[in-house]
Structure 1
Amino acid sequence: MREKEGGKVASGQRIQKANCLGERTGHINRTQCLDVRSLGRGRPGGVSGTMDIDAYFERIGYKNSRDKLDLETLTDILQHQIRAIPFENLNIHCGEAMELDLEVIFDQIVRRKRGGWCLQVNHLLYWALTMIGFETTILGGYVYNTFNDKYSSAMIHLLLKVTIDGRDYIADAGFGRSYQMWQPLELISGKYQPQTPCIFRLTEDRGTWYLDQIRREQYIPNQDFLDSDLLEKNEYRKIYSFTLEPRTIKDFESVNTYLQESPASVFTSKSFCSLQTPEGVHCLVGFTLTYRRFNYKDNTDLVEFKTLNEKEIEENLKNIFNISLEKKLTPKHGDKFFTI
């Protein structure tokens, strides 16, 4: 592990920060707080007007170098974030809104130690990467639905493109479950890119990119859950499509409202929380808690299931996901298609 090097950006190093409005800054130091009033849509009461990059890195437990803008550093930051910040939609099921304002996201995730969905966790990652100097672009994705064999008609997923030494990589901390990448994916069509969760592949066709995965077999020791609707049944799985057209957070405002209000949305149908570990991933969907250990043995994942009561949900949110909710959660497992 590499130690954090110094307290300031080296003399002459220029940080190219491209925020959601396409603005650029010049020289900044690493401990500087960013005034983000121009990035959001106005601050709700009680939310601070500055965001501290050091507080973000403390939140994800990252203590290594921020000076080297290379693939190793990007991978290290991504892995720290996905193991510290849950992919979750619990606000919806606590009667609260899922906000896009960057200050609100920072307050929720960094100060109050919550998680968020892709529009939030990847927005935060975008801010952090640009603050330390990575050339980062917001992209929009269309999520594949196995149930109807179609990609979403609306752009409902936010992901990032990061350019390092002329090479492009996809960085995504916001898909969760067993579909979450653990390392950035090089933007090369047709290349198999093995990672601990699975083998990922990106393919390009007439300007549209497609992300899919090849999964392992899975062993479920609790026979009562062999037919669970939460289990992914496909060895080959399409995940989402996207183009390389740069986006801003404003492009996601209408879909952010739709996803948390429409009865047709999986996010209103199910309460969920997902957090990666060094060996696998925890998921809580409604009253069902699962743990998937990747490549448990013989190219097979171990998937353990447990049904919780409301008290156990609160305990497991604290103990596994490090989440303490401020409002009462109403766990929900509706009929919309959602797998772990």
Structure 2
Amino acid sequence: MNNQQLIEAYLNRIGYKGPHNPSLELLHNITLAHVRSIPFENLDILLGKSINISLDAVIEKLINQKRGGYCFEQNGLLLYVLQILGFQVTPISARVRLDRPRDFTPPRTHVFLKVELSGTTWFTDVGVGGVSLTSAIQFIQDTEQITNHETRRIVSEGNRYFHQVLFPNGWVDVCEFTLEEMPEIDRELANWYTSNHPKSHFKDRLIVARAGDDGKRITLVNREFSERDKNGSANKSIINSPKELNYVLKEKFNLSFPIDTEFQSPGLQWD
């Protein structure tokens, strides 16, 4: 697949039909279309499969097979697409901080993208699950930024920056970063940890997420399915069987698996 074919296949996958010239509007539009169309998911890990983040493997999985993936797959694909489209883009390493206190140091196992446009720095991140960006955000501190879904901001503490999301109960850290670039070899190493290390949180829980219309988020964590509206209110339900799980994956996330597929996770204990 050459570059032109890749761009056509990718834009078709995310359902984007607008102009291709590198601009802030295009960056916003691709970010939104991507997270609405390609779900975040760690299902291959729970099927005992390794995660290959080479470009060919990611294209095959996320585009040809119409699957989803996690940050190294999602942002890895978007990195290459944005480069082909003419954007100046750099992969940045980060530590995911969702549900983690500031005195805990999580591994540096996340990558997001820094984009330079007309002298201004923007970030996009289509690979952080239920809080993936649906608009690019500007690298400017202590300023609330409205996106297609939640309000965001960037704050600093010493030499560390924190990308935060505003939930009904207040500001919550999404990730921590220092603007250090994350080259391919570092992404390979972090991907091995994330998909193989026994203490990786992707080994002990099922996680699937996709952005919906009108600010809606849909997420699946183990057996709990949640639909969250733009105000942060969530309707939750419990999945009661592997068959029901496969149905939800298909109907809500457009992820198809054989009917007898069983994902191995401590969080999936069936009666």
Same fold (TM over 0.5): yes
Letter in 2 for 1:328: T
Residues 246 and 128 (structure 1 numbering): CA distance in 2 closer, same or farther, change over 3 Å? same
How many correspondences in the alignment?
A: 266
Q: CA deviation at 1:245?
A: 2.4
Determine which of 132, 146, 149 is the counterpart of 1:180: 132
Larger Rg: 1
2:213 alignment counterpart = 278
Deviations 1:60-114 (A, max 9, x none): 11111102x2111100001000000001000011121111111101100000000
Tell whether 2:259 aligns with 1:316.
no
Asked whether the 8 Å contact 1:289–1:308 carries over to 2, the reply is no
Determine which of 239, 242, 247 is the counterpart of 1:307: 239
The CA distance in 2 between the partners of 1:51 and 1:257, in whole Å, is 29
Asked whether the 8 Å contact 1:270–1:285 carries over to 2, the reply is yes
Deviations 1:237-275 (A, max 9, x none): 111111222221211222211122222111001011111
The CA distance in 2 between the partners of 1:245 and 1:147, in whole Å, is 21
Residues 290 and 308 (structure 1 numbering): CA distance in 2 closer, same or farther, change over 3 Å? farther
Aligned residue for 1:282, secondary structure, equals strand
1:33 alignment counterpart = 2
2:173 alignment counterpart = 238
Q: Note the residue ranges of structure 2 that are not aligned, 5 or more in a row.
A: none
Residues 123 and 150 (structure 1 numbering): CA distance in 2 closer, same or farther, change over 3 Å? farther
The CA distance in 2 between the partners of 1:291 and 1:165, in whole Å, is 37
Aligned residue for 2:202, secondary structure, equals helix
Aligned residue for 1:260, secondary structure, equals helix
Letter in 2 for 1:56: Y
The CA distance in 1 between the partners of 2:24 and 2:98, in whole Å, is 31
Tell whether 2:33 aligns with 1:64.
no
Determine which of 70, 77, 88 is the counterpart of 1:135: 88
Q: CA deviation at 1:305?
A: 2.2
Residues 209 and 148 (structure 1 numbering): CA distance in 2 closer, same or farther, change over 3 Å? closer
The CA distance in 1 between the partners of 2:10 and 2:104, in whole Å, is 33
1:197 alignment counterpart = 149
Bigger helix share: 2
1:87 alignment counterpart = 40
Asked whether the 8 Å contact 2:32–2:133 carries over to 1, the reply is no
Q: Note the residue ranges of structure 1 that are not aligned, 5 or more in a row.
A: 1-31, 35-49, 217-233, 336-340
Letter in 2 for 1:72: E
Asked whether the 8 Å contact 1:270–1:334 carries over to 2, the reply is yes
The CA distance in 1 between the partners of 2:87 and 2:38, in whole Å, is 21
Asked whether the 8 Å contact 2:196–2:203 carries over to 1, the reply is yes
Q: CA deviation at 1:194?
A: 2.5
Letter in 1 for 2:62: I
Q: How does 1:1-340 map to 2 (within 5 A)?
A: 33-34=2-3, 52-67=6-21, 69-144=22-97, 146-150=99-103, 152-177=105-130, 179-216=131-168, 234-279=169-214, 280-295=216-231, 301-325=233-257, 328-330=261-263, 332=265, 334=267
The CA distance in 2 between the partners of 1:213 and 1:83, in whole Å, is 18
1:7 alignment counterpart = none
Q: Which moved more, 1:257-266 or 1:125-134?
A: 257-266
RMSD: 2.2
Deviations 1:265-319 (A, max 9, x none): 1100101111110131111222221111122xxxx52333232411111122111
Residues 301 and 145 (structure 1 numbering): CA distance in 2 closer, same or farther, change over 3 Å? closer
Deviations 1:200-223 (A, max 9, x none): 11023444321112212xxxxxxx
Q: CA deviation at 1:148?
A: 4.6
Aligned residue for 2:9, secondary structure, equals helix
Letter in 1 for 2:127: G
Asked whether the 8 Å contact 1:176–1:274 carries over to 2, the reply is yes
Identity %: 26
TM-score w.r.t. structure 2 length? 0.90
Letter in 2 for 1:33: N
The CA distance in 1 between the partners of 2:141 and 2:47, in whole Å, is 41
1:12 alignment counterpart = none
